[in-house]
Amino acid sequence: MDGKVVETPAEPVDSRLKDKVRIKNYPCEERNGILWTWMGDPDARPALPSMEWNMVPAENVHVSFRVQECNWLQAVEGEIDSAHAPILHGRIDSKGAISDWVAKRDLRPVFECQRQEFGMSVASRRVLDEATNYWRVNQFLFPFYTLVPPQSQYPELSGHAWVPIDDENTLCIMFSYHPSQPLYEKTRKLFEAGHNGRETGHASVDAFAPRPPSEPYAKYWTKFNLKAAFMFDYDAQTKTWFSGLPGLWVQDAACQSGVAPVYDRTREHLGISDTGVAMTRRLLLERVRQLKERGEKPARYDDPTLWMVRAVSLTLAAGETWQAQEEVMKAKLGADFGYAL
């Protein structure tokens, strides 16, 4: 990967053209099936960021790729918003795990956000009863990572790298992993094949609508896009799924990209439940200005351990704070969740 020309078959035998010409190249490093590259100053190249999903044994993790036709920030904002989950992903026929999900018992979570060196913790509190709260803490990690907490029915941590392709397209790298044991074979099959024609959080093999090889990420475009109305089915909406959209990631993708690839933020109406989105937006804007105007980089951006963080779901006594559970928010390779799901 040094950008050298290997052969110039039509040039004279003693031509040295191939020794002089180089294409622009970037260093690549592979770790557990993910190719990382550094496109900045070669002399300022930091170590690969330590991210738990990219470091656990291969049997503990499932990673999938797909292209989503919207700006990466819209996708980030959708995933750090925890309020939508029991509503958008809900069923109306009372079947399926989401209907029994504890988060469904309080549809109006109260948000608490905390700035971190790695980005932002977006915590949501749901009241289970007078003595007990259910907390979900989603994490946003600079520059475009999100982490979603596990659920008792789905004991995996998950999240995305929302890698910008351009302003209107995003490469979505989704990961689901168990921190200390292999994923169940059944779980992996569900991720790969979907369930009764529905998608899970991962794009299944049937989701893809490949484009000509000349297009970037040709294999990873899907049939669930705005043109196809994300396969919205009115009948399903009246009988099974609240959203009428066939599966978890499709429901998210439709809401994140449905209005426009870059929506007009001057015309939106943020509510109290958008606190996490608003705070994260403000943080990003501040950091961008700091870098642009003063050349200040985010703290510890070159410290690989900065990203060793977990999203958590905690049932706590009323009055207990999620911030006090700092230990279980640290990612420790090989260690279990550290609390009961």
Query: Which residues contribute to the site for Fe ion (CB under 5 A)?
Result: 252
Q: What are the angstrom distances between the C-alpha of 72 and each of 27, 163, 167?
A: 24, 7, 8
CB of 45 to Fe ion, least distance (A): 35
Q: Which helix (H) or strand (E) holds 317?
A: strand 312-317
In whole angstroms, the minimum distance from the beta carbon of 252 to Fe ion comes to 4
Q: How far is the CB of 82 from Fe ion (least distance, A)?
A: 9
* Cβ 89 to Fe ion shortest distance, Å: 6
Type of residue numbered 12: P
Residue 196: name the closest of 247, 132, 253 by CA: 247
Nearest residue (CB) to Fe ion, 52 versus 252: 252
Instruction: Between 50 and 273, name the residue whose CB sits nearer to Fe ion.
Output: 273
Which phi and psi angles does 184 have, rounded to 5°? Answer: -65, 145
Q: How far is the CB of 274 from Fe ion (least distance, A)?
A: 15
> For Fe ion, which residue has the nearest CB?
252
Nearer to Fe ion by C-beta: 112 or 252?
Answer: 252
Least Å distance between CB 84 and Fe ion?
A: 6
User: 64 or 308, CB closer to Fe ion?
Assistant: 64
Maximum Cα–Cα distance for the chain, whole Å? 85
Cβ 277 to Fe ion shortest distance, Å = 13
Q: Which is nearer to Fe ion, 49 or 82 (CB)?
A: 82
Whichever of 78 and 119 has its CB closer to Fe ion, that residue is: 78
Length of the chain: 341
String of DSSP letters for 225-275: SGGGGGG--HHHHHHTBSS--SBHHHHHHHHHHSS-SS--GGG----GGGH
Indicate the residue among 49 and 124 with the shorter CB distance to Fe ion.
Answer: 124
Structure tokens, 84: 């939508």
Q: Which residues contact 44 (CB under 8 A, 6 or more apart)?
A: none
Q: Is 145 helix (H, G, I), strand (E, B) or coil?
A: strand
* Neighbour tally for 186: CB within 10 Å: 8
